[in-house]
Chain A
Amino acid sequence: MIQFFQVYKTYPGNIEALADISLKIEKGEFVFITGPSGAGKTTLLKLIIRAERPDRGEILVNGRNIARLKNSQIPLLRREVGFVFQDFKLLNHKTVYENIALVLEALKYKKREITKRVRQILRVVGLEEWVIKQTPLKLSGGEQQRVATARALVKSPSILLADEPTGNLDPGLTVEIMNLLEKVNHLGTTVLVATHDTNLVAKYKKRALPLYRGKLVG
């Protein structure tokens, strides 16, 4: 469960990214965060994994008080939350396998377990075996998107945050990625999708939290 209570976030330079945000997302929900570019969608997602700190307000994630989290507790929080970054944040000099394995290494999985899980998750996101040894830049945008999604999912998070997961994809691929996210959601993971694509929101008929200039509207 995710809860925001009157959360404010201002970036250096007096850029007010979020103001007075209060919201509640139940366990197992599928929610869109919508709004035009610059509305504060990415900022909202980043607050959930403490990649950014709120200036004011309280944030609860799976019973943890994020604003007051001790540094040593941050890794524990991040293990429960998968994040598909808007810019993927894949390591371009490493193979797809290494990119995904890195997460499990960081969580101290055994080598055998890592190999098994990486293969498994690549099948789940619909990537074929040959992709494993490629570096991300050799792949298409849609394939990179899936690798990024696989990396977020490989640690079996209870919450998945996807920032513009269909941002640069053609309609066919968009459907595939959305199907994947719905599948993950059906398996019990809470899913938050940030998107500026109003058609997408209209099509999937999920709860939507519209942001505009840092405020929740409607």
Chain B
Amino acid sequence: MGAFYFIRRALRDIKDNGLTHLLSIGTIAISFFLFASFLLVSINFDSFLQAWEKKVQIVLYLKDGVAKKRILQIEKEIQKQEEVQQVKYISKRKAMESFKRDLAPYGGLLEGLKEEVFPASLEIKLGEPFRTPERIKALAARLNKIKDVEEAQYGGIWLERFSIFLYILRWGAWVLGAVLVIIIVTVTANTVRLTLLNKRAEIEIMKLVGATDAFVKLPLYLEGGLQGLFGAGVSLLLLFLLFRFFSLKISPYLSLYFGQLRLSFLSPDLIAGIMGVGLASGLLGGLLSLQKAAEV
């Protein structure tokens, strides 16, 4: 008679009082679902942001007719900025060639294209620590002021707002997480107390025939823990189904606008963590209700 015996008894308690437990597991699952979806969204935004940060560069378009010497001078000047990792000169000709390469399938249309149409530019890669929207914006503003520079361009300025949003999202997730623990503890404590009431006669008899305290209480602790675990499991399953649906049906459309989206589900570590939190807070709830009913 090992752990399984007690788990079986806890499961029987849950089954005997199905509706109450269904409600509490449902409540726990909903709260977990909210928490986990905040987490999931913030993780995906985060990796989206990181992917962008890797690619990020500033393109400095030069005014027409700037002398080669002056361009080298500008390059040196830029190189001196601490944020800058690499500067690459793209001549008018190169710009046209790469444009043609990109649009090769539409070949015919490009026949008469002259290289004069394309401005020469400097492509600037930033050092890793400086690839944040704020730093990029600041650097671009400085570069814009250099003489003979037409315009400093960089993609995805809207990501700036994005990173603030992400910050809020992450905090939201942790606040929700804290609320979640409170909810689970309260809900499981209550259902365990109900079980305790329902099983009063059985518990009394078990004790009268010589059952130890641990024997009587262990299934009740486990009952709390299992509720937390089931709630977490149900919410993750639900979230996973929703995630699959989203990544199969909806993200192809989004890719049209945002480029290739690589969505990922919660990592195994996080899943284990969420299940662990469910289990632990459920056990805590069980513990609390049994503490209150000290003398069963």
Interface residues of A (CB under 8 A from B): 49, 51, 71-72, 74-79, 83, 89, 91, 94, 102-103, 105-111, 151, 155
* A102 and B209 in contact, given A108-B1, A110-B1 (Cβ under 8 angstroms): yes
User: Bound complex: CA of A107 vs CA of B209, how far in Å?
Assistant: 9
Does A106 lie within 8 Å of B201, measured CB to CB? no
User: Bound complex: CA of A188 vs CA of B1, how far in Å?
Assistant: 30
* A102 and B202 in contact, given A49-B208, A79-B210 (Cβ under 8 angstroms): yes
Q: How many chain B residues have a CB neighbour from A under 8 Å?
A: 16
CB contacts (< 8 Å) of A105 on chain B: these are 1, 5
- Residue from B1, B206, B212 within 8 A of A102 (CB atoms): B206
Does B210 lie within 8 Å of A76, measured CB to CB? yes
Does A106 lie within 8 Å of B211, measured CB to CB? yes
CB contacts (< 8 Å) of B216 on chain A: these are 106
Shortest A82–chain B CB gap in Å is 8
Minimal Cβ-Cβ distance residue in A for B1? A108
> From residue 153 to 178 of chain B, which have CB atoms closer than 8 A to chain A?
none
- In the assembled complex, B293 has its CB within 8 A of some CB on chain A: no
Minimal Cβ-Cβ distance residue in B for A82? B209
What does DSSP make chain A's interface, helix, strand, loop or mixed?
helix
Does A89 lie within 8 Å of B201, measured CB to CB? yes
Does A75 lie within 8 Å of B1, measured CB to CB? no
CB contacts (< 8 Å) of B213 on chain A: these are 71-72, 75
* A89 and B208 in contact, given A102-B202, A106-B215 (Cβ under 8 angstroms): yes
User: Bound complex: CA of A91 vs CA of B202, how far in Å?
Assistant: 7
- Residue from A72, A78, A94 within 8 A of B208 (CB atoms): A78
User: Bound complex: CA of A72 vs CA of B201, how far in Å?
Assistant: 21
What does DSSP make chain B's interface, helix, strand, loop or mixed?
helix
User: Bound complex: CA of A98 vs CA of B205, how far in Å?
Assistant: 13
Top 4 nearest A-B pairs by Cβ distance? A106-B211, A78-B210, A79-B210, A103-B209
CB contacts (< 8 Å) of A76 on chain B: these are 210
* A155 and B209 in contact, given A91-B201, A91-B202 (Cβ under 8 angstroms): yes
CB contacts (< 8 Å) of B201 on chain A: these are 89, 91
Does B205 lie within 8 Å of A91, measured CB to CB? yes
Shortest B197–chain A CB gap in Å is 15
Does B208 lie within 8 Å of A107, measured CB to CB? no
- Residue from A51, A106, A110 within 8 A of B206 (CB atoms): A106
Minimal Cβ-Cβ distance residue in B for A78? B210
Please encode chain B, from 166 to 208, with 1 for each CB lying within 8 Å of some chain A CB and 0 for all others: 0000000000000000000000000000000000011011111
- Residue from B202, B205, B212 within 8 A of A75 (CB atoms): B212
Shortest B202–chain A CB gap in Å is 6
User: What are 9 pairs between A and B in contact, CB < 8 Å?
Assistant: A75-B207, A77-B210, A78-B207, A78-B209, A79-B210, A102-B209, A105-B5, A106-B215, A107-B211
CB contacts (< 8 Å) of B211 on chain A: these are 75, 106-107
